[in-house]
Structure 1
Amino acid sequence: MTNRPTAVSTAGTTRVTTPLTVGVEEEFLLLDPATGGSLPVADRVLAALPGPARQQSRQEFRHSMVEMVTPVCTDLGELRDHLVALRRSAADAARTAGANLVAVGATPVREPHRTVPDEPRYHAMSRRFGPVAHDPAVCGCHVHVGLPDRELAVQVCNHLRPWLPIVQAITVNSPLHDGYDTGHASWRSMQLERWPSIGPTPYFTSAADYDATVAALVDAGIMLDSAMVYWYARPSTSYPTVEIRVGDVCPRVDDTVLVAALVRALVATTADDVRAGVAAPRLRGCLVAAAHWRAAHHGLDGDLIDLRAGGARPAWHLVEELVAAVTPALVRHDDLSYVLEQLARLRRDGTGAARQRRIMAATGGDVRAVLDHLTAQTVDC
């Protein structure tokens, strides 16, 4: 998931002009159409996928989950086509196993079967982390942006820290747990806080500093290995990319493509800042964590914490400032009109969490109606 960038210099500043590559990993739940409970049929679903889709699938940490991975893309239209095809293939395969494929961030009703798949790594995680490893399944959307210079990737992660709570707020799509509204727009985010290696990315002075810190955490038993770095932004362990993994899986394909476009533009913008010698803000970890907590709780309905200026401000004001900051990168990638169109839709229709809550309110708390809506949205392309 990388490319060879072309750089130009203007007024002493180096700016990359070649479009950055982008790829997306989406995790989905397999739910019982009648009860909404999770079904442990992932093996059957993966086996039923057609050849190309099977090659783009992965086994996940729960028997009730599947993950679909797009190829490397440079164009949003190309990315969207892959997402549509993968979702439809996975939904068809799920139906053959008696399940619905549902794009929702956390288990909405219940998950009776919480054993991990029979893989040595998963068994090791189960032994190390105990009940935490057996929480109900959660599903995320991970965006990879091509950035083969690892030193640059670490610095970009520093620059992304004030912006990622806004991205998180855009993606909230898991208000339900055990059949009830939790009061949090992203219960997935709250649930994941129990893991010791998940959360906001710390500030690192260099790639060497990053590697030394990860090694120390592995030595301390916090992680099994470096692949268990689940921070919200990280240099990928598998690809020459920056991986952003802060968001819930999105209900609609266009929600996912919007997030991918904004993330790519953020990476391109902050990479330009690093090359220009702009220092990343040294934010207190507790404030960054607080900003993410508020994003997960409120989504875009209310105020978010402005980590650049301080204080709480209306969420949509911060979204507008994010777009303004990355507009040159959106223009370079020919993504601006699409992003503005999708943000207008999001502002009109609300986040995934807001849409679920509207259905709950209109139906007197009918979770089945919510899940039917989410099932349709997952493949409504």
Structure 2
Amino acid sequence: MVLTVGVEEEFLLLDPVTGENAPVVEKVLAGLTGAARAQSRLEVRHSMVEMVTGVCTGLAEVREQLGGLRRAAAESAAATGAALVAIGATPIADPRRTVTDNPRFRAIGRHYGPIAHDPAVCGCHVHVGVSDRELAVRVCDRLRVWLPVVQALTVNSPLFSGADTGHASWRSMQLERWPGLGPAPLHGSGAGYDRTVRTLVASGVMLDESMVLWYARPSATWPTVEVRVGDVGLTVDDAVLVAGLIRGLVGAAVEDVVAGRPAPEVPDHVLRAAHWNAAHAGLAGTLLDPVRGVARPAWDLVGELVAAVTPVLARHGDLAGTHDGLQRLRRTGTGAERQRRILGRTGDVPATLTELARLTVS
């Protein structure tokens, strides 16, 4: 059975001269036409735009749609005098730190206060189709131990306030201020999931049941598992690689559920440590193996992830492309590593962002 996949990408709109966030999303959306307009979304901040693929059955289709959506959004942004940049966190400054004109976003702003007005951050959310909600919850239980590795693969936000933060994903560090965001608890069943969400809503940690911000969750809207741990990918190649690996992980988790293999019982605090490690270091060093509780070379854990999903990748025709994508990533580095190299060469953050805008649509 072929598992469907869809990708949501958030992008920053930046002033091409200063590098500051440009609050022009309404103009950018108005400039989109046809399928690109239908597949665009207003996000919580004025300097962000989200583009969403349709339901895809193959990674070639994902690639085609992502490339077309990025080009359309970049052209519309350029018409407003802004640049579309695939970067995970505000690199210099966000001068208009208010939520966009949406009743839902305003309610979030009232409930969470200044946290909702932090500088804009951009992620990549991958949806993989599953047959029912109960299965989706059980799949999420089995994804928990692999998502720090996925996070390390996607790091793409080392810059903040005009300087290198020392973290590979500043977006991840910034989002730790949000309650209810992070690795999902181990639920065991749909009923267990519902009990946890009701408790967190009662506490105020979640405004309501739609504020489930865990790194993997059953989608509230679609019959999918949604994985939302990663920074937006710098290039289309980066996004396609991650989409394929996540589909592979979901497929392997479905097989584990069907076979009755239990989900690893890793404590939440260990997973949080593994995610912090991934966001800090990316693939440039060691990662915490949450099952063994020891630090290991990052690429060793990537290799174990690929081994775990190889049968699913092969069944979907994704094995060769995934191996090629990982070889490219090992050769060129993560988005964070590429940003740092460009910054080292230019010595200037706005000049770096100009090159990142080019890579966004390359």
TM-score by structure 2 length?
Answer: 0.99
The CA deviation at 1:148 is: 2.5
* Residue aligning to 1:278: 261
* Residue aligning to 1:144: 127
Task: Please tell me the residue identity of whatever aligns with 1:368.
Answer: P
Maintained 8 Å contact 2:19/2:92: yes
* Residue aligning to 1:211: 194
* Residue aligning to 2:18: 35
Superimposed CA distance per residue, residues 3-48 of structure 1 (whole angstroms, 9 cap, x where no aligned partner): xxxxxxxxxxxxxxx1100000000000000000001100000000
Structure 1: how far apart are the matches of 2:149 and 2:267? Answer: 17
Structure 2: how far apart are the matches of 1:233 and 1:148? Answer: 16
Structure 1: how far apart are the matches of 2:81 and 2:90? Answer: 18
1:222-241 matches, cutoff 5 A: 222-241=205-224
* Residue aligning to 1:63: 46
* Residue aligning to 1:178: 161
Structure 1: how far apart are the matches of 2:249 and 2:95? Answer: 40
* Residue aligning to 2:349: 367
Task: Please tell me the residue identity of whatever aligns with 1:376.
Answer: R
Residue 192 of structure 1 is aligned with which of 172, 175, 180?
175
Residue 324 of structure 2 is aligned with which of 327, 337, 341?
341
The CA deviation at 1:309 is: 2.3
Task: Please tell me the residue identity of whatever aligns with 2:234.
Answer: P
Task: Please tell me the residue identity of whatever aligns with 1:88.
Answer: R
Q: Is residue 79 from structure 1 mapped to residue 62 from structure 2 by the alignment?
A: yes
Maintained 8 Å contact 2:198/2:209: yes
Residue 255 of structure 1 is aligned with which of 226, 231, 238?
238
Task: Please tell me the residue identity of whatever aligns with 1:140.
Answer: G
Q: Is residue 220 from structure 1 mapped to residue 199 from structure 2 by the alignment?
A: no
The CA deviation at 1:145 is: 0.1
Superimposed CA distance per residue, residues 191-231 of structure 1 (whole angstroms, 9 cap, x where no aligned partner): 00000021011100210110121112112211121111010
The CA deviation at 1:262 is: 0.2
**Structure 1: runs of 5+ lacking an equivalent:** 1-17
The CA deviation at 1:369 is: 2.4
TM-score by structure 1 length?
Answer: 0.94
Maintained 8 Å contact 2:44/2:100: yes
* Residue aligning to 2:251: 268
SS across alignment from 1:61:
coil
Superimposed CA distance per residue, residues 87-144 of structure 1 (whole angstroms, 9 cap, x where no aligned partner): 0000011011110000000000000101111211111111111110100000000000
Q: Is residue 165 from structure 1 mapped to residue 164 from structure 2 by the alignment?
A: no
Runs (4+) off by over 6 Å: none
Task: Please tell me the residue identity of whatever aligns with 2:339.
Answer: Q
SS across alignment from 1:29:
strand
1:281-296 matches, cutoff 5 A: 281-296=264-279
SS across alignment from 1:126:
helix
Number of residues paired by the alignment? 362
Task: Please tell me the residue identity of whatever aligns with 2:110.
Answer: R
Structure 2: how far apart are the matches of 1:167 and 1:126? Answer: 29
Maintained 8 Å contact 2:168/2:280: yes
Superimposed CA distance per residue, residues 38-91 of structure 1 (whole angstroms, 9 cap, x where no aligned partner): 011000000000121111011000000000000000111011000011000000
Task: Please tell me the residue identity of whatever aligns with 2:106.
Answer: H
Task: Please tell me the residue identity of whatever aligns with 1:192.
Answer: L
The CA deviation at 1:174 is: 0.1
Q: Percent identity?
A: 63
Superimposed CA distance per residue, residues 226-258 of structure 1 (whole angstroms, 9 cap, x where no aligned partner): 111010000000100000000000000010000
Maintained 8 Å contact 2:346/2:352: no
SS across alignment from 2:320:
helix
* Residue aligning to 1:377: 359
Task: Please tell me the residue identity of whatever aligns with 1:135.
Answer: D
The CA deviation at 1:363 is: 2.6
Greater shift in the superposed pair: 212-221 or 294-303 = 212-221
* Residue aligning to 1:354: 337
Task: Please tell me the residue identity of whatever aligns with 1:309.
Answer: R
Maintained 8 Å contact 2:53/2:65: yes
**Structure 2: runs of 5+ lacking an equivalent:** none
Structure 2: how far apart are the matches of 1:306 and 1:283? Answer: 10
* Residue aligning to 1:20: 3
